[in-house]
Homo-oligomer: A and B are copies of this chain.
Amino acid sequence: MDSTLKELATKTPKKIVLLVMDGVGGLPREPGGKTELETARTPNLDALAAAAECGVHLPIGFGITPGSAPGHLALFGYNPIEFPIGRGVVAATGVAFPMKPGDVAARLNFATLDAAGAISDRRAGRIPTEKCAQLCDLLKAVSIKGVEVFVKPVKDYRAVVVFRGKGLSDMVADTDPQVTGVKPVDPAATDPKAELTARVAKDFVAQARKILASQAPANGVLLRGFAELPHIPSLQELYQLSPIALAVYPDYKGISRLVGMEAIEDLADLEAQAKALATVWDSHDFFFIHHKYTDSKGEDGDFDAKVKEIEKVDAFLPRVLDMKPDILIVTGDHSTPAVAKSHTSHPVPFLIAGEGVRADGTAKFGERDCARGLWGTISGQMLIRIALSYTGKLKKFGA
């Protein structure tokens, strides 16, 4: 099917906007109650839903709880099972680090270790990004024979390390035990071909420990998601799109770059995203707008704050509509119900609005109303195909 789609793809001037409220899907906080989205006052989204084709989507498949990277890959039309993306790669591309084939990247979290070497805080007291950048600079002193080491700050206590050298492999297990009170795990190869990489990572951790000894609360490092660069065909290659990402958070810029999108740097908030959208409108035909905080508040378990984030996006919506996109998709990459404080597998509501849609009169942009929309429950990987065909970007198949 992928090669068929590629053959059918054709360039048109029509414009598609994909507006993602991260983790927007939710759950009621009490039996019989409403979800976050159902609770939110969203007059703009509701009006749009009534004139749109609505449904709910499963980003990866029934029962699969998507991580952020695969959830977005699905929305970009890829099968995330076919294109696994490690956390390290997401982090590296997120800060625009130019990874090369054979490089191995890992997410590096600064952490607090006690006198015995056990983890007392997995997030190093959530140090600010500026401090993180200073510490990354210090880690330039790490020296490993035959291997180049790059350490780049990401956000707060999060950084990324990239190892470059011959014969490296990403088959190395996380050193973050995910709990406090125990020592970080030594880097261990999960495949014999990664023995060298595990030794390199172990050397790096040991040297980092010495360099950071006096830097409490950030006196240790935890490594997660060792990963090599995957080969993903780009959205240009597949669909002849000129896509651009308008995301505040580095990871989402990273995922976007992996599928060939440009990504605008230094967008602080929805206001900046709205202005940037107008600026790049004429030069692109696919616009991915990402709002992170619906997910963050869900992860925090803060139902009311998540409702407010949804309402912010509702207030932002007219700025998108002002651009008159030919097709506008509004959805999420997965559900993050505040009551769950985590991603879940629940279907995610979506709407497809624009010219040439069969308005289904959905009364409210919410999980249960959308599930009764025209599309019912479909794969999240199909949304972009529908948008492409509605904008004439997929030619007729066969005579």
Contacts and interface: CB of A to CB of B under 8 A. Distances in A.
Nearest to A79: B1
In the assembly, how many copies of this chain are there? 2
A227 to B, nearest CB: 8
A67 B356 CA distance: 19
Interface residues of A, number: 68
B339 A356 contact: yes
A389 B1 contact: no
A35 interface: yes
Given A339-B356, A374-B371, A398 B66 contact: yes
B8 A386 contact: no
A316 interface: no
B396 A65 contact: yes
A337 B359 CA distance: 14
Given A63-B386, A63-B388, 12 more contacts: A1-B81, A4-B81, A27-B358, A28-B359, A61-B385, A63-B385, A66-B397, A66-B398, A70-B397, A85-B399, A225-B399, A345-B390
A345 B340 CA distance: 37
B63 A389 contact: yes
Instruction: Report whether over half of chain A's contact residues are helix, strand or loop; otherwise say mixed.
Output: loop
A344 B356 contact: yes
A382 B62 contact: yes
Nearest to A8: B64
Among all A-B residue pairs, the 10 with the closest Cβ atoms: A63-B385, A67-B398, A87-B399, A70-B398, A62-B382, A345-B389, A63-B389, A376-B376, A371-B374, A65-B396
Interface string A345-389: 111000000001011100000011001101111110010111111
26 contacts: A1-B81, A4-B64, A27-B356, A28-B359, A60-B397, A61-B385, A62-B386, A63-B389, A64-B389, A64-B394, A64-B397, A65-B394, A65-B396, A65-B397, A67-B399, A71-B398, A86-B399, A225-B399, A340-B356, A342-B396, A343-B396, A345-B386, A358-B368, A358-B371, A368-B374, A377-B378
